[in-house]
Every structure is written in structure tokens, then in C-alpha cells.
């Protein structure tokens, strides 16, 4: 496998006083295009407002930093105004219109990951803005706009041309945006830092999996997701997605090492990870990570709504199911070596605490 898997940082696409939008480029991270994956990051300063838009791709949004408000309009549904905070995941299906607002935090940062198989460009999101200097209606004639909205042409011109910013604006401090309702979070948002743990290994790490059970809209997006928090110096078992899914990983906090092995036992990635890095594990390739002493957290999407993994170490690995004779023949070792191997990792699974 000759494709470059080196993790990359996002680069700014546009921005201003209200904040900025960053994205990962398929030319620099080829697996984005190869795997039809898009990745972007929205950063809003205090009073920053991301104008209403829709996308050519379904996405999962994850709040990396800060708190704020999101407006979400599903096709032919009423607007839901939702309070968002660090750790929140939101599934955004096709056709959803969203806006984002940072009311009072120094910075609100939201990560977007999703499948681009229906996008204009493989490996990239294209957002279609409803207003602003690049808004959809700037392309229509005044006659078409006035007839569509049933307003005078002078009003149509005012509506279309008054907002001269692109994508993000900074609102006046006293401007009153709609207030969120707690009930609107139900079925729309899952906080991965507060949700029940799917995996909790003492001294090893913790996992919360985002799937159709705890956030049904994930089924419409077509991708699952998880938040993994690996303890200091702990190891994440070598493993692979056993349902042909790609795994797209963003390092949220901390640092550590990663190795990825592909066909013919070839190590196709070995590097040190840091916050902001994004990398993609190809289908059926085996990945393992070891955290630095301060630990490492990452958020991943998996290109199936209910992902399944096979771990190649620990008590749930295939090694524990294979018969001793098969192990002896496969490794070409004596019975006492096989017994020693089989006696290890009988209690641990997925995460392994550091050696004593």
C-alpha cells in the first residue's frame, strides 16, 4: 500500500472577526479522497455566528471546545435550537440546515467528519449558504427571488445584498438570538463525556460508542462514532474493523504513538500523534496506539452506523478461541511456548494498562 497515511492538521479556508473554518485537504491527506471522507473544523469567537447552510454530505459533529447554540432544521421540520457544549455529538443527515452561535465563550470549536460519496468533490465537504456574499440567492435574478418569496423587488434586493460577509459574522454583543430548549437535545445530541461507558478498563481506558441505539439519527448519516480516552502509557489493542469500514481518527487531547500494519505484514504508518492530528486507517488494516504519560483522547467516525471490531490481543481476541494445536502449528512453537502465550491477557480486553 503506497498511499501516504501521515496524520495532518487542518488549514484555514476562510474566516474573519467572528471566527474561521478549517478543513483537511485531500491532496495532502490522500486517504480522504480514497475513502470518500470529509473533515472540517469550525471555530467561532465570542458572538461569532456561522450563517445558515446545508451540505452535500451527511456528517457527525463533535464539540471539541467551548459551549454555544446550534440551530438545526431537518427537512420539512421545525427549527430546533439546541444548547451545545464540549463533548456533544450531533448527527447531521442529508438536507439538514444548520447555524452555529457562540454566545459567551472565548472560543467554540466544532469538528465535522462524514462520508463524501455523494459530494461534489471526493474527500471534501461543500457547504451551500442560504445568505451572505456567496449565498445561494445571490445567483438568482431579482425577479426570481421576489416571486419565490412573494416580496417586492426592492425588498428582495435588500434581503439578498445586505449581508456582505461570507459564512461567518460577528454579531453585536446585545443581539438576542433564540434561546435553546433542553427538550430539543433529546434524540438530537449525545454528550460523549457524560454518556454511559461502553468500555471501562481500570488503568487502561474508556470508550463511548455513538450508534443507532443512543442516537437514532446516526442511521441516517451512515457512520458510527466513538470517543476513546486512553490512560497514561496504556495501550489500545491491535485491532481492525471487521465490517470493511474505514476508521477516521482525530486526536482531541494528549499524545502518543500509533502503528498501522497492512497486507503482507507491512508497517504502513508509524508516527507520534498530537492534538489536532487527523489520520485514516484503511479497510482491514490493523491499528494500535500507546499513549504518552499524560494519556490520549481521540474521536473517530467509522463508515458504518453500527461498527464491529476484532481485537488481536486480550481475552476477546481470536487467539483465545483457537485450539492449542492450531496455535502450535501456526506459530511453529513447542507446546510450552503456546501455553505461556495462552496464559497471558486472560482478563484484559481492548486496553492494556502500562507494565508495572
Q: What is the mean pLDDT of the chain?
A: 95
* pLDDT of 259 over the 70 cut: yes
**Is the pLDDT assigned to residue 209 strictly greater than 80?**
yes
Residue 296 has what pLDDT?
Answer: 98
For range 112-139, the mean pLDDT: 96
Predicted pLDDT at 308: 84
Q: What are phi and psi of 272, to 5 degrees?
A: -100, 130
Does this model's pTM top 0.85? My answer is yes
- Residue 243, pLDDT score: 80
DSSP conformational letter for 121: B
pLDDT at residue 1 in the model: 60
Question: Where does the pLDDT of residue 201 fall: very low under 50, low under 70, confident under 90, or very high at 90 and above?
Answer: very high
Give CA separation, 274 vs 7, 25, 183, 203, 352, in Å.
9, 18, 36, 21, 21
Burial of 266 (0-12, 13-18, 19+ CB in 10 A): exposed
Which pLDDT tens digit goes with each residue over 149-174? 999 999 999 999 999 999 999 999 98
Indicate if the alpha-carbon torsion angle 186, 190, 196, 199 is positive or negative: positive
pLDDT at 297: 98
The reported pLDDT for the residue numbered 349 is 84
Share of the chain above pLDDT 70, in %: 100
247-261 vs 278-281, strand pairing mode: antiparallel
Q: Write out pLDDT tens, residues 273-318.
A: 999 999 999 999 999 999 999 999 999 999 888 878 899 999 999 9
Alpha helices in 206-352 (DSSP H): 218-221, 324-331, 335-342
Output the pLDDT for position 304.
84
The whole-angstrom separation of Cα 109 and Cα 96 is 20
Amino acid at each position: 500500500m503506497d498511499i501516504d497515511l501521515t496524520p495532518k492538521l487542518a488549514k484555514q479556508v476562510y474566516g474573519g472577526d467572528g471566527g474561521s473554518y478549517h478543513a483537511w485537504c485531500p491532496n495532502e491527506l490522500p486517504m480522504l479522497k480514497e475513502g470518500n471522507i470529509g473533515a472540517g473544523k469550525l471555530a467561532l469567537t465570542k458572538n461569532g455566528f456561522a450563517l445558515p447552510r446545508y451540505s452535500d454530505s451527511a456528517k457527525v459533529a463533535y464539540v471539541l471546545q467551548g459551549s454555544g447554540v446550534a440551530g438545526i432544521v431537518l427537512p420539512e421540520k421545525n427549527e430546533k435550537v439546541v444548547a451545545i457544549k464540549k463533548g456533544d455529538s450531533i448527527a447531521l443527515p442529508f438536507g439538514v440546515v444548520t447555524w452555529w452561535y457562540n454566545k459567551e465563550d472565548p472560543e467554540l470549536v466544532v469538528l465535522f467528519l462524514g462520508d463524501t460519496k455523494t459530494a461534489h468533490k471526493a474527500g471534501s465537504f461543500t457547504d451551500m449558504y442560504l445568505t451572505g456574499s456567496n449565498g445561494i440567492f445571490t445567483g438568482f435574478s431579482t425577479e426570481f427571488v421576489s416571486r419565490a418569496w412573494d416580496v417586492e423587488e426592492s425588498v428582495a434586493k435588500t434581503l439578498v445584498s445586505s449581508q456582505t460577509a461570507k459564512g461567518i459574522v460577528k454579531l453585536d454583543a446585545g443581539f438576542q438570538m433564540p434561546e435553546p430548549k433542553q427538550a430539543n437535545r433529546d434524540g438530537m445530541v449525545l454528550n460523549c463525556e457524560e454518556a454511559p461507558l461502553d468500555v471501562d478498563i481500570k488503568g487502561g481506558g474508556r470508550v463511548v460508542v455513538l450508534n443507532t441505539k443512543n442516537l437514532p439519527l446516526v442511521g441516517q448519516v451512515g457512520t458510527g462514532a466513538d470517543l476513546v480516552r486512553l490512560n497514561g502509557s496504556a495501550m489500545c489493542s491491535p485491532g481492525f474493523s471487521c465490517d470493511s469500514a474505514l476508521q477516521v481518527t482525530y486526536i482531541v487531547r494528549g499524545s502518543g504513538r500509533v502503528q498501522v500494519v497492512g497486507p503482507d505484514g507491512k508497517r504502513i504508518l508509524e508516527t507520534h500523534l498530537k492534538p489536532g492530528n487527523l489520520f485514516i486507517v484503511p479497510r482491514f488494516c490493523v491499528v494500535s496506539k500507546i499513549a504518552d504519560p499524560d494519556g490520549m483522547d481521540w474521536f473517530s467516525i467509522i463508515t458504518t452506523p453500527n461498527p464491529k471490531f476484532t481485537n488481536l490481543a486480550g481475552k476477546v481476541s481470536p487467539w483465545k478461541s483457537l485450539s492449542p494445536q492450531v496455535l502450535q502449528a501456526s506459530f511453529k512453537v513447542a507446546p510450552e511456548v503456546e501455553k505461556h502465550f495462552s496464559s497471558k491477557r486472560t482478563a484484559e480486553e481492548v486496553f492494556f494498562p502500562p507494565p508495572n
